[in-house]
Structure 1
């Protein structure tokens, strides 16, 4: 089964986003894991075995921006994705105060 990692990059500052709170949940809202990005904007989350099906990563982007004194439009970002097989899953988040994007990384 997959292991999950994420990487948050702050496009506004051109640096990794350290200290972003991240929660991994099932689509039904059950919390599977919590964490915070490190100095490089990275964190590994979740149990060693992720359940198949739909999951969500919730990034606490509002607290991150408030800590730096930057106004923001998105108080949090939820990225929904499906676990369909085995292997490593990497879900990056590219963040700015008024926009974000994500994709399936490698």
Structure 2
């Protein structure tokens, strides 16, 4: 298998990459979550290497959790104890064993979106 998974975070409110956002990747089976990786975005809003490299890739259901709350506070976009977006989970499936999956997060204080990129 040569599939792998990458991600990045763009701050759409500020129009720039989102640096310093912790990300966790879980493999999901039913109600069970098993953490398989964690990383932090770099100055380009990307991870320094694939969050799930080819040697660890297995088709299945996964969940990326972006811990965006501290970033939004640090950049002055939100404040307070309870945030509209704090931890942002994205659950998705990977079924093609030889594919590059790219699942980015487009982030703003009161909205987010994702897509399957390339």
Unpaired segments ≥5 residues, structure 2? none
User: How far did residue 66 of structure 1 move?
Assistant: 1.6
Partner of 1:25: 26
Unpaired segments ≥5 residues, structure 1? none
- Tell me the alpha carbon deviations over residues 42-65 of structure 1, each in whole angstroms, 9 at most, x when there is no partner: 112024332221100000011211
Structure with the larger strand share: 1
Partner of 2:101: 89
- Shifted more, 26-35 versus 48-57: the winner is 48-57
Partner of 2:10: 9
Measured in 2, the distance between the counterparts of 1:31 and 1:67 equals 26
Measured in 2, the distance between the counterparts of 1:4 and 1:18 equals 19
When normalised by structure 2's length, the TM-score is: 0.84
Measured in 1, the distance between the counterparts of 2:88 and 2:114 equals 10
Partner of 1:56: 63
Measured in 2, the distance between the counterparts of 1:51 and 1:66 equals 35
User: How far did residue 15 of structure 1 move?
Assistant: 0.4
In our comparison, the structure showing a higher alpha carbon Rg is 2
Compute the RMSD of aligned alpha carbons: 1.2
State how many pairs are aligned. Answer: 106
Measured in 1, the distance between the counterparts of 2:9 and 2:34 equals 23
User: How far did residue 9 of structure 1 move?
Assistant: 0.3
Flag as ranges the 4+ runs of structure 1 deviating above 3 A.
Answer: none
1:46 paired to 2:67: no
